[in-house]
Structure 1
């Protein structure tokens, strides 16, 4: 057997197995009370508006679910808690409480409503459950049975007639069943919608209370801000707030320009100093070069005077090798021909021919094989140019120094000198131009700086004037004040729009009337005890409820349409026999109700018979012949009490009237009221009384559960051990189930140990 908690307090989707003995052990705030309430909710049907039911609703809300038994018992929570539960160690009965008075009255009425003679009680009870026809109870039982059988027969005949009448329409019974099911569904859906609407109305009332309080606060805030916001609007509308930002930006720009001009002036001043130094250096360089310009011109003239005619010359022979070789060859051939002619004594013509060849060859060698030319004497010319180069170097103090002591070297040096002189003149001219431009730029910057300074003074005066107008010292403070003012204005506008909407909703003219109306509504809410707290969870719940109501309403209308369609269909099928069928159905329903009423009466009589039989058995156990109102009950209680007490504390009970306080003999054998005994002993007495009453009431209520929440709080170890043993023995003998709730480690160990010794199924759930 499991206790299933889908949603109950701090437990979500939890399951706790239960045995013959179940212990929930843990410190405070771990859920023991929640589990106790969950067990009660899982055993009996929680309904009505008793203090306990209201406590459950306030503690856990409307949505809670605990499952244990398949069928919940229809027992009031007060009766269950007084009969089968002991909470917080309270085993005595509070005589001033309504529930305790009902408990005692129930004992008295159930046991002694026909007198206090045990034999009379037994006889009365036996007569009350006797089935003999000569006894009133038997007559009543037989009459109820005959009435039930008669009503049952009449209803069965009417039902058969209804079935026969409707048999002509094959689908009519099924359609009628569908119609009834639809009617039941419509009724359930309507009840569900009404319940949801009730929950939604409660939440809407809380939301309305909260919104009304907030709206009233908004009206009060709007009234307090109205004057200050109007004043803010005036100076905001003057556009000076924009001017101060613009002027501040202009001042920053002017300061940046002034700073930049100052930097430029400093750079230009530094540049002028550098240019002055550069002009001086370039002037010296130009003057130094100009001093050597005449020497360079003189040397240039001397170089020009050294031409080919005036230069020293030498004669040079230039051989024409091809002519020389031709002449030598001709000369050699002529000599050879002459020698051969001589040796061979040839004709004299050969001598002539040889002579011509030799003459021609000799003529070519002597007259045509060489060429005489005059050339300049380069060594002398070189010495002259070296002398000119040395002269140029010495006269210019090394300023003009030819790299090569030649005509070209001197000319190249003179050319470079002229270029250097021209460059120096040009550089000096350019530097003078830059110097003049820098002076002009510096003058412009100083003039602009003076103008910017005057404009800056004007802007700063205007800036300070506006800041003084707004009552601030600097721009950050002004911006903060402006931001706050705009935020206040925006908040004010929001409040004003909210109030205007409320005025339209309430159909009022001004905020004063709205304030009075809201105060009246708040008083009404407080008089009706409507809470003003409306959490976000409740808002979400309300939203879900409204959605659920809308969904359920749509489903309801759909079902209603289906129902009307089904009803119309049935009407069409029945047609002309509608009146007859209606009469048959009405007769069948009437006979069914009469049969059910007769059955309920018979069941009630049979229950009474069973109850009186149980009472007769109880009285039969009591001592016969007792004439005391309560002596027999006291005897039974005394027996149970002495079973629960430790052996050395066995006491006799004296309790003759329910209106009296029970008396017992203490350990000094003095008769005293139970309330004057020690706390632990008194607790044992009342604990035995509670178990006795629970056992007697269980036959009627069909319950075999005990819920014990710290039941032995005021007992010493001996009494606690005795009470534990007695309770476990009671559970074992009567085949009951007991659930203990405790934070006491000793009690937990005691229960586990004794349950093990008694061979009882025991399970421990440690919480926290």
Structure 2
């Protein structure tokens, strides 16, 4: 079953597909393409018998062109028809009533339909032909043969006598014999060369035909490939000139804007980082402020205490400078020891004691310092220790041990707090500046991003407008267009060569010439696989050499033939016209023999033809009766009581019982009943055409083009019932073309698997 029909450049359809079912209704108004689909089905189903010179195929080529293409998709094993078989049996078109078989090949029971339809009487013809073969009346074939045989018998002895006389004269002519032998030798050699040349020319003809066929196929392929290439070029016409520089300029702009956006984003990030650092530093300063405030407050409190402590009344305070004391004592002891050791006597020892005593007294006097102070060192130390303990509560930095340094240490927190406040104010100002700059940078970054996005969209739209997703795809299409353009140019040059070779002014004329030549060579059974141009050229050169050799031998034989003619002329003078009489008798006798052979073949033909027509007469009666019964049985399913009769295979002479029970000729019935009757007959013939020797029906299909336009609703239902029963019995696919929208709904009423294909 056909499930799909693909139409590529077929009439109004271009790369169009139609889906089919078991019973398909192709529905559409006039000019919707129903005839085009019908022709495409015929083209694809009958491709095996395609001959562009036949009328049906000429019509298709004229209407749709030689490069039309229709492809069928099958469910199950595909099958095909010959063109005449399809049009006469399996395609039922509106108003057709032919019941002819296809050249006697499709339906054995009506194999002689063509002959019978011509109005001949086979039995009468058989009798007439047998009479012609047997009669011996004057002027008959047998009488002519007898006269010719008598003529040959009468002239035989005279011819033999004349030949004897001629041979006796020639036997005395030695020169004539020698020249005759030499001439025969030359002629035999020349004939051998000619025979070899004829054999070689036969090979050359076969090889030349194969080369012509290969060239025709190559030309057809070049035309088809050129059409396909030009179609592909047309599809890629927008890529004929590369516009990549414009696109790359857009990409460059996009890259620049992306870099600007990235730079703005980086600056924004840096500004945000510096702002965050400033806020963190300000936070740290703010965290230090409470501690410093406490230190300032504690320092003020301690400074007040220290001032109060320092303002107490002064008193003399003795202070022992122990380093000085010990230093003086050490010097005195060293000097006394030196004196004692130097003198080494009592005076020296006394002097040494005196030095030691004096040194002791001086050390005591010089090491005691009198100062005015409010407090003693011990009191001051105790007081400072108390201050240090209180200070340790607010600071980890200890107070100095000296009172003078304590004032400076207690003044430091106030200085630090002032510095902290100033630093905080500076950071706050810095943060404010950063926030303002950050807003400006954020706006700049957003604008840069927007500009980058717009540039990217512009570049993307450029590709999208050209049907591409990426630059590589666009470049690939440009490259493909360049390759196709180069290929098309090459193909055009090749087509021009073919046009010049075949003297054609247009590709269409070339296409017709090539198809005509291919069909002519197909009919001769030429195989293009045998094409071999170098071998053909070699054989032609060899043939030219053989021709020259034959001409040379003929040239050598010409003077010999002249001398022989002179010698025979001399002999002719002696023979006094004897050879001319011999030639005349030989010619007359040979002509009579040829005529006898032809007349004897004619007698055999009469006899064989009479036998054939006798068999036709015997078979036709049975075929008519069988057809009538089968048609009546088919019609009986929808017209109860139907009875049919055929006296010949002329549809107009078939008869059908009318409503009154009377057998009437089909041509005298209504057009609707005529079409219904012929539909039954056509269904029967189509089924028989696909039956094998065992009577099994093979796969097939029916194509009906507006078959019911003459039927009233009742007859239309009867016709649909016939088709339903036929499809149920055979399982064949049925494709029906109509512009009647009600027909598909009517078909559904008979449980047919209807698929509607609408054409606009």
User: TM-score, normalised to structure 2's length?
Assistant: 0.40
User: TM-score, normalised to structure 1's length?
Assistant: 0.39
